[in-house]
Amino acid sequence: MKIYYSGGIIIIVRVLGEKIYMKKILVVMTGGTIGSYSNNGIISVKENNCRALEIFKKRYRPVVEFEVTQPINILSENLDKNHWEILVNFLYQVNTSDYRGIIITHGSDTLSYTSAMLGICLNHFDIPVVITASNYIPDDKRSNAVENIRSAVTVINTFQNGIFTVYQNWGKIFCTVFTANDIIEADRFSGKFNSFKNKIFGKVINGVYEKIQDYDIRKERFFDDEKISLKNDVLMIKPYPSMMYSAIKIPESVKAVLHVTYHSCTAKTNGAENAIDFLELCKSKNIDFYITAVRDGSVYETSDMLIKNGAVPIYNVSDETALARLILYYNCDIRDRKNFFRL
């Protein structure tokens, strides 16, 4: 057995003679700024090549090897559920016994949505999976790309399994470690990511993991599908004053509506253009109706009215996780359908 110092972390490996036996890390690129190159001011992505990883290896000279692949290459704002199908089904074909862990590079705009989806679909994996992004291209001095890659490697060498998202918010000297189902969309102005529960899981500082919350990640498979197909749709809507429910056209592919509520878990329930009328329209079309951001315990009168009229509450999860669970619920063979939304 030998001990190596690699990029701020200690790695213990077995040796046989002079040959080192250490599993590779699989880097799965999906597009986004973190893998981009700049050539005379033109930003582009090279196939199966990650610029942030190149800089990380040159700067920190890790002893671990990497294998890079790219099943999709998109701007993350163009993400749709067909890309999730491709990504998840690709990952299901990976022989996890060949790797120490998996890093998934992604664009920041929809990072929290893909994190939520993968947090459910890959929860049974026996190796850690880390999703990350960057604010600027890796060659930009302001970029957090290399530190995010470094932190992803640290997390992989810290945990035996689990699905995580890591990101260094602007102005911070550490990378935040989120569980994948807890990260929420970045603030539009600052670009900073936060936790749905407003309590981060851990930190990585200079390549060293700092525990904040205890490790309590269950390794459990939520559905039996060996390959996912997401043909059925879920319509997600968010309220605003004078929202025009009557302008919403619901395609036949929609099997459920996810109505996000205001922060007090409320929505308009009287007067013209209200959520109760829209709920009744959905019921007439045999479309299930859900409300999110509902906390256990007492609720306001408007929330109570929605629930009494047939809205199904989804408790204590982010909008992204609620959406991911609904998409999977209406497309996959869920093992415990009754308790799926309380997991």
What Cα–Cα distance (Å) separates residue 101 from each residue in 14, 18, 117, 119, 164? 17, 24, 18, 15, 11
What Cα–Cα distance (Å) separates residue 286 from each residue in 12, 153, 230, 250? 57, 47, 19, 12
Q: Are residues 53 and 156 in the same domain?
A: yes
* pLDDT exceeds 60 at position 207: yes
Whole-angstrom Cα distance, residue 331 to residue 325?
10
What element of type H or E holds 155? helix 145-156
Does residue 17 sit within a domain? yes
Whole-angstrom Cα distance, residue 134 to residue 265?
32
Q: What's the pLDDT score for residue 46?
A: 64
If one counts the domains in the chain, the total is 2
pLDDT digits (tens, 9 = 90+) for 297-328: 656 788 889 999 999 999 889 999 999 999 99
Q: Are residues 146 and 192 in the same domain?
A: yes
Beta-sheet pairing, 24-29 with 99-105: parallel
The residues near 308 (Cβ < 8 Å, ≥ 6 apart) are none
* pLDDT exceeds 80 at position 263: yes
Does residue 163 sit within a domain? yes
Does residue 228 sit within a domain? no
- pTM of the entire predicted model: 0.90
CATH of the domain at 147: 3.40.50.1170
Whole-angstrom Cα distance, residue 222 to residue 160?
19
Q: Are residues 264 and 315 in the same domain?
A: yes
Does residue 240 sit within a domain? yes
100 falls in which pLDDT band (50, 70, 90)?
very high
341 falls in which pLDDT band (50, 70, 90)?
confident
Does residue 224 sit within a domain? no
Highest average pLDDT, of 17-26, 151-160, 208-217, comes from 151-160
What Cα–Cα distance (Å) separates residue 109 from each residue in 31, 132, 193, 268? 12, 12, 11, 29
Q: Are residues 175 and 254 in the same domain?
A: no
Q: What's the pLDDT score for residue 74?
A: 87
Q: Are residues 124 and 6 in the same domain?
A: yes
Does residue 152 sit within a domain? yes
Helices (H) and strands (E) in the chain, counts: 7, 19
Average pLDDT over residues 110-123: 97
Q: Are residues 274 and 172 in the same domain?
A: no
| Mean pLDDT of the residues in the chain | 89
The residues near 78 (Cβ < 8 Å, ≥ 6 apart) are none
Percent helix, strand, coil in the chain, to 5, is 25, 25, 45
Q: Are residues 171 and 126 in the same domain?
A: yes
Q: Are residues 75 and 183 in the same domain?
A: yes
183 falls in which pLDDT band (50, 70, 90)?
very high
Q: What's the pLDDT score for residue 343?
A: 61
291 falls in which pLDDT band (50, 70, 90)?
very high
Q: Are residues 270 and 182 in the same domain?
A: no
Q: Are residues 204 and 301 in the same domain?
A: no
Does residue 199 sit within a domain? yes
Dihedrals phi, psi of 102, to nearest 5 degrees = -130, 130
Length of the chain: 343
β-bridge partners, 257:
235, 289
Classify 67 as helix, strand or coil: strand
Residue 38 and residue 116 in contact, taking contact as beta carbons nearer than 8 Å: no
β-bridge partners, 313:
291
* pLDDT exceeds 70 at position 296: no
CATH of the domain at 319: 3.40.50.40
The residues near 39 (Cβ < 8 Å, ≥ 6 apart) are none
The residues near 90 (Cβ < 8 Å, ≥ 6 apart) are 28, 71
Q: Are residues 245 and 335 in the same domain?
A: yes
Q: What's the pLDDT score for residue 116?
A: 97
Does residue 226 sit within a domain? no
Single-letter amino acid, residue 323: L
Q: Are residues 187 and 262 in the same domain?
A: no
Whole-angstrom Cα distance, residue 3 to residue 164?
26
Both tokens of 79, joined, read 């993400």
pLDDT digits (tens, 9 = 90+) for 217-237: 778 899 989 999 999 999 999
- Structural domain including 294 reads 233-342
